[in-house]
């Protein structure tokens, strides 16, 4: 591809670059200042000047890196008000699309640039009204965008800037054909950026086909540790999770997010918290879009202290005051764990993540633990909680013990299978929040569906 590769390391505080030194217009800088920011995050310092120069960018960055502002500020800087649709941002989920739009509106409030959010699950009439009033930037999920392209309510002829955000998730959800369809309709002469947490072969192939000599920025590309977050785990019986959830939440001053594996579990936990007089809201796939937006709005505004959610929300939560993340259920794949815990410790703040490990999920938890590169606290030992974990493959043998200062057994994945603890039984791997595909024809399901792998969002300044 002939591109250049830049790998950035953390900088010392006295070398932080200010936004005013990046070549941004005064009206864009005013929006940044209104949000309380003066110094650019590392990816912003690296990417913004390149995009302003008209060169394409491929960025690999993880939770809290500031990529939303990195691509949005350069777009706001170059777009002209009242000149039609010039900017297009594609995101995998409605939650992430709405979050991106919210952030751009804050940053661009002095520019006169208008934004429309286009996604499945919202009435077409609402979106058509917004488009009819005139917009310069579209933030969209691929399926609903194609609906508008086919009916002629959106045209891409004047597009000058295109962003693919969370590109790896869009490909995992089956959007590759949709993305190619959209990009083939856009002008050749445009500035394009692609951001992805991982760089599988399919992403690199996409960048080769549609980006022109891009600069690559790999920031913390190998860091999946959740560094800066106090991570711990507690092995307990499933029926004891409510009790310990209350114990940890009572000690938390800030907001909390509780992640569950299924929509049914999400409802149960939210109901339990309401009964205990906690101000909690829930987000899960069977909720209407208006109810989901209402729940997230309450949480973001601080009117709710606890958000209970499936993984559908884990890449759409950017709330600075989240102090605690509780994995009520162990996620069924490693990346989902890091997306979940990344909702805390935002922008240098302190945060904690606690994972409840039930009998049936010990094997899955051991797989995730191998990816964690920072010290991990064993709360069984710290709290002197000893628990017997039966081996479903050896029902008549003596139970193994965990915690209480005793020796730690090394459980294999096979240890969580069979009997009542298999993948599909009890609380095993069979349940999980996930995304269906927001596609361009027939049924659209871009919410969470039990039994499928899931990914969460994570956009931030």
pLDDT band at 43 (very low <50, low <70, confident <90, very high): confident
Strand pairing category for 306-309 and 280-283: parallel
pLDDT band at 347 (very low <50, low <70, confident <90, very high): low
**pLDDT > 90 in the chain, percent:** 49
Section 133-145 average pLDDT: 97
Highest mean pLDDT among 27-36, 213-222, 319-328, 343-352: 27-36
Strand pairing category for 387-389 and 400-402: antiparallel
Cβ atoms of 178 and 440 closer than 8 Å: yes
Section 3-23 average pLDDT: 61
Q: CB neighbours of 184 closer than 8 A, spacing ≥ 6?
A: none
Asked if CATH classification 3.40.50.300 holds for the domain at 230-421, the reply, yes or no, is yes
The SS3 call for residue 230 is strand
Distance CA 242, CA 245 (A): 5
- Complete DSSP assignment for 119-152: -TTS-HHHHHHHHHH--SEEEE-HHHHHHHHHHT
DSSP H or E stretch at residue 231:
strand 230-235
Helices assigned H by DSSP within 254-351: 263-275, 289-301, 334-341
4-219 and 230-421 share one CATH topology?
Answer: yes
pLDDT band at 267 (very low <50, low <70, confident <90, very high): very high
Q: What's the mean pLDDT when you consider all of the chain?
A: 79
Q: What pLDDT, on the 0 to 100 scale, is given for residue 439?
A: 38
Q: How many CB atoms lie within 10 A of CB 261?
A: 27
Q: Which residue has the tokens 């936990």?
A: 269
Regarding predicted confidence, which is higher, 388 or 235? 235
Cβ atoms of 183 and 213 closer than 8 Å: no
Q: What pLDDT, on the 0 to 100 scale, is given for residue 228?
A: 73
Q: What pLDDT, on the 0 to 100 scale, is given for residue 108?
A: 96
Residue 104: is its pLDDT beyond 90? yes
Q: Where are the domains of the chain?
A: 4-219, 230-421
Q: What pLDDT, on the 0 to 100 scale, is given for residue 257?
A: 94
* pLDDT tens profile 48-69: 999 999 999 998 866 556 889 9
115 pairs with which residues across the strands? 137
Distance CA 347, CA 356 (A): 26
Distance CA 288, CA 267 (A): 14
Q: CB neighbours of 324 closer than 8 A, spacing ≥ 6?
A: 248, 249, 252, 254, 255, 256, 257, 344, 351, 352, 353, 354
192 pairs with which residues across the strands? 162
Distance CA 341, CA 335 (A): 10
Spell 59-83 as b/e; 16+ CB within 10 A means b: bbbbbbbbbbbbbbbbbbbbbeeee
Q: How many CB atoms lie within 10 A of CB 291?
A: 14
Distance CA 158, CA 362 (A): 53
Cβ atoms of 63 and 458 closer than 8 Å: yes
pTM metric for this prediction: 0.58
Q: What pLDDT, on the 0 to 100 scale, is given for residue 389?
A: 67
Residue 319: is its pLDDT beyond 90? no
Spell 424-452 as b/e; 16+ CB within 10 A means b: eebbbbbbbbbbbbbbbeeebbbbbbbeb
pLDDT band at 314 (very low <50, low <70, confident <90, very high): low
pLDDT band at 284 (very low <50, low <70, confident <90, very high): confident
Regarding predicted confidence, which is higher, 460 or 191? 191
Section 351-379 average pLDDT: 90
CATH topology of domain 4-219: Rossmann fold (3.40.50)
Copy the structure tokens of residue 23: 């070549």
């Amino acid at each position: 591809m002939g591109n250049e590769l830049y790998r950035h390391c953390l900088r010392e505080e006295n070398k932080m670059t200010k936004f005013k030194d990046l070549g941004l217009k005064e009206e864009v800088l005013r929006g940044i200042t209104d949000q309380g920011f003066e110094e650019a995050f590392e990816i912003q310092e690296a990417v913004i000047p390149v995009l302003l120069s008209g060169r394409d960018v491929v960025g690999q960055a993880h939770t809290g890196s500031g990529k939303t502002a990195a691509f949005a500020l350069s777009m706001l800087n170059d777009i002209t008000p009242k000149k039609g649709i010039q900017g297009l941002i594609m995101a995998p989920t409605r939650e992430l699309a709405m979050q991106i739009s919210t952030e751009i509106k804050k940053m661009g409030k002095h520019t006169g640039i208008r934004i429309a959010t286009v996604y499945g699950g919202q009435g077409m009439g609402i979106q058509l009204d917004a488009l009819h009033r005139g917009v310069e930037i579209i933030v969209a999920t691929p399926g609903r965008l194609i609906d508008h392209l086919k009916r002629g309510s959106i045209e891409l002829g004047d597009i000058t800037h295109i962003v693919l955000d969370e590109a790896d998730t869009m490909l995992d959800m089956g959007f590759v054909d949709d993305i190619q369809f959209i990009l083939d309709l856009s002008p050749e002469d445009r500035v394009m950026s692609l951001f992805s947490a991982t760089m599988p072969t399919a992403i690199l192939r996409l960048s080769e086909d549609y980006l022109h000599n891009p600069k690559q920025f790999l920031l913390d590309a190998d860091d999946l540790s959740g560094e800066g977050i106090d991570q711990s785990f507690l092995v307990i019986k499933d029926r004891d999770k409510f009790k310990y959830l209350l114990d940890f939440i009572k000690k938390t001053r800030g907001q909390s997010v509780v992640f569950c594996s299924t929509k049914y579990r999400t409802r149960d936990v939210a109901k339990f918290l309401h009964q205990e007089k906690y101000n909690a809201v829930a987000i899960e796939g069977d909720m209407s879009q208006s109810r989901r937006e209402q729940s997230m709005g309450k949480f973001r505004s601080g009117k709710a202290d606890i958000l209970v959610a499936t993984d559908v929300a884990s890449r759409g939560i950017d709330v600075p005051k989240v102090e605690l993340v509780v994995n009520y259920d162990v996620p069924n794949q490693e990346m989902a764990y890091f997306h979940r815990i990344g909702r805390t410790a935002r922008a240098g703040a302190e945060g904690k993540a606690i994972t409840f490990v039930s009998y049936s999920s010990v094997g899955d938890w051991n797989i995730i633990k191998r990816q964690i590169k920072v010290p991990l606290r064993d709360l069984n030992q710290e709290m002197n909680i000893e628990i017997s974990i039966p081996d479903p493959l050896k029902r008549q043998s003596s139970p193994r013990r965990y915690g209480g200062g005793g020796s730690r057994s090394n459980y294999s994945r096979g240890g969580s299978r069979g009997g009542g603890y298999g993948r599909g039984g009890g609380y095993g791997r069979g349940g999980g929040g996930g995304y269906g595909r927001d596609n361009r024809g027939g049924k659209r399901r871009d919410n969470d569906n039990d039994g499928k792998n899931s990914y969460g969002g994570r956009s931030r300044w």
